[in-house]
Amino acid sequence: MEQPQQETVERYSRQMVLGCFGVESQRCLSRARVLVVGAGGLGCPAAMYLAGAGVGALCLLDRHGDCVERSNLHRQIAYNDAVVGVDKAEALAQFVRNLNPRCDVQRLDSKQHGVGICAANAEQMVQGFDVVLDCTDNVMSRYVLSDACALQKVPLVSGAAIGTDGQLSVYCSSGAKDDDTPCYRCVHPVAPPQHCVGSCDSAGVLGPVPGIIGTLQAIEAIKVICGASFVGAEPLRRKMLLFDAMDCSFRTMKLRARNSACIACSSNSTSTQNRITRVNEYDYDAFLMGDSAGDSAAAAPAIAPESRGPLPSRIEALEFSRISNESTLLVDVRPNTHFQMCHLPGAMNVPLTDLSSAERVRDIQHEMDRRSRGEAQSSTLYIICRRGNDSQKAARKLSETGLFHRVVDIMGGLSAWSDQVDPTFPKY
């Protein structure tokens, strides 16, 4: 067997001396091509450790226009203040090149191929890779990536982290005769309701949690790449690892084998009616709305337009800053943890979820009466949230009670306040 070069030994000796790993596993890594989709909290540690381990080629793909923000820095550790505003994939690629110049690092141009990973480009994107890492944070991407990998017979290492929890699994068969690894769709044949799906942006995340999961994704990718040469290593096929930071516990759940009726990865001829033969021809929007057959009726709103109450008024944040005074009641409908971080002076915090409580609505009414003192302008109730989405729901809900003379939603929420009124107000 030919001996490794001097630089290879000096750089990777600490893992090559492992009896279970050795020179052959290192050679497997040096020949491997890996695609990391997502350059955030999961993608950063995964890419860093794969490059450090000696992967031959590493391709990075993130949403076009997704740039580093200061709110990313507590968990996306490849970035710092100097690269705030820089394209994430480009910043991560440069970090990894500096970490290991021997790794061929490429940033896939998401602008050329579409907005990040999508049904139109997914199969083309995953072709030719030994393993793909799903480091995204949305349901659409998970199904699209899994379906593409299933069709192209590329193993998929999928990680997720939110709040203080994380999970990890290896999906999609490599095409080997005895490989019964399920795809993501086998395990989750029905898409979760949109209101049940959170993200780090909306639900928050403890910084080290995605770091742990992303690092474990790198380990799983290494095991998949090295195969039998990594003696005794067992990838998380047909298993799901669950991590809970609250008690620092790890649990492993067994997953069922590949579903013989799966429309993405099964070759069972009895399920060909809705089979996915090309990812770019499947209606993911209909599927995620709960209509796997593509019936447009499923897209109809749950509440008929005629049953809705009158639309509340909307104003710009700048306009609100001009007309508000001490008697103005502003209800901030963000969760209390958000309110404690930052809020406008005099605002009353009633989270959106609390508006189903008649008692909390009465609290708003009593505070409204206390502040108005018969003044016509003060009889207007103003609603604000983080970015102007939840405030619309809250304004409609409060308007429909009929208890308030006028309900006004502030467009763009506190983010718009920071842009239009006070640039020192934190955006997060």
> In the prediction, which pLDDT does 198 show?
67
Tens-place pLDDT, residues 62-75: 988 899 999 999 99
pTM above 0.95, yes or no: no
Please indicate if the annotation marks 290 as binding a ligand.
no
Cβ-proximal residues to 211 (8 Å cutoff; 6+ apart), any chain: 41, 44, 45, 75, 77
Residue 337 parent element (H or E): helix 336-341
Please indicate if the annotation marks 73 as binding a ligand.
yes
Please indicate if the annotation marks 75 as binding a ligand.
yes
- Ranges of beta strands (E only) in 186-311 are 239-244, 249-254
* Topology at the third CATH level for domain 306-420: Oxidized Rhodanese; domain 1 (3.40.250)
Arithmetic mean of pLDDT over the chain: 89
Burial class (CB within 10 angstroms; exposed 0-12, middle 13-18, buried 19+) of 66: middle
Tens-place pLDDT, residues 258-294: 998 899 998 764 555 678 999 999 999 989 886 443 3
> In the prediction, which pLDDT does 328 show?
93
Please indicate if the annotation marks 74 as binding a ligand.
yes
Please indicate if the annotation marks 295 as binding a ligand.
no
Q: Domains of the chain: which residue ranges?
A: 6-299, 306-420
Tens-place pLDDT, residues 118-165: 999 999 999 999 999 999 988 999 999 999 999 999 999 999 999 999
Domain 6-299 classification at class level: alpha beta
Instruction: Please provide residue 236's backbone torsions phi and psi, each rounded to the nearest 5 degrees.
Output: -80, 55
Please indicate if the annotation marks 402 as binding a ligand.
no
The catalytic residues are: 200, 385
- The pLDDT of residue 114 is above 60: no
- The pLDDT of residue 296 is above 80: no
pLDDT band per the 50, 70, 90 thresholds, residue 115: low
